[in-house]
Amino acid sequence: MSSSSPSLTRDTHAGHTAQRLTGRVAVVTGASSGIGAATARRLAADGAAVALLGRRAERLRALADELGPTTTAPILPVTTDLADPKAIDTAARTITATLGPVDLVVANAGVMLGAPYETAHTEEWDRMIDVNLRGLLHTARAFTADLLAAAAQGRPADLVHVGSVAGHSLYPGWSVYCATKSAVAHLTRNLRAELGPRGVRVKNVEPGVTVTELGHDMRDISMQTSLTRMRTDLRPLTAEDIADTIAFAVSVPTHINVAELVVVPVQQG
Is residue 8 one of the residues assigned to a domain? no
Is residue 172 one of the residues assigned to a domain? yes
Structural domain of 97 = 18-264
Is residue 97 one of the residues assigned to a domain? yes
pLDDT tops 70 at residue 9: no
**Alpha-helix residue ranges (DSSP H) falling in the chain:** 34-45, 57-67, 85-99, 122-128, 136-152, 175-195, 221-232, 239-251
Is residue 1 one of the residues assigned to a domain? no
Is residue 29 one of the residues assigned to a domain? yes
Taking residue 101's Cβ as centre, other Cβ atoms within 10 Å add up to 16
**Given the residues 177, 188, 203, 208, the one annotated as active site:** 177
In DSSP terms, 161 is beta-bridged to: 107, 204
Is residue 5 one of the residues assigned to a domain? no
Q: What is the pLDDT of residue 153?
A: 97
pLDDT tens for each residue of 23-62 = 999 999 999 999 999 999 999 999 999 999 999 999 999 9
Q: What is the pLDDT of residue 229?
A: 86
The domain tally of the chain equals 1
DSSP 220-239: -HHHHHHHHHHHHSS--EEH
Q: What angle do CA 208, 261, 224 make, to 5 degrees?
A: 15
Point out the least confidently predicted range of 66-70, 105-109, 133-137, 230-234.
Answer: 230-234
Is residue 155 one of the residues assigned to a domain? yes
Q: How far apart are CA 94 and CA 5, in angstroms?
A: 35
Phi, psi (5° rounding) for residue 199?
100, 0
Which CATH number covers residue 129? 3.40.50.720
Is residue 114 one of the residues assigned to a domain? yes
210: three-class secondary structure by DSSP: strand
Q: Are 100 and 26 in contact (CB under 8 A)?
A: no
pLDDT tens for each residue of 97-115 = 999 999 999 999 999 999 9
Per-residue pLDDT, averaged over 196-215, amounts to 93
Q: How far apart are CA 157 and CA 103, in angstroms?
A: 5
Is 171 an active-site residue?
A: no
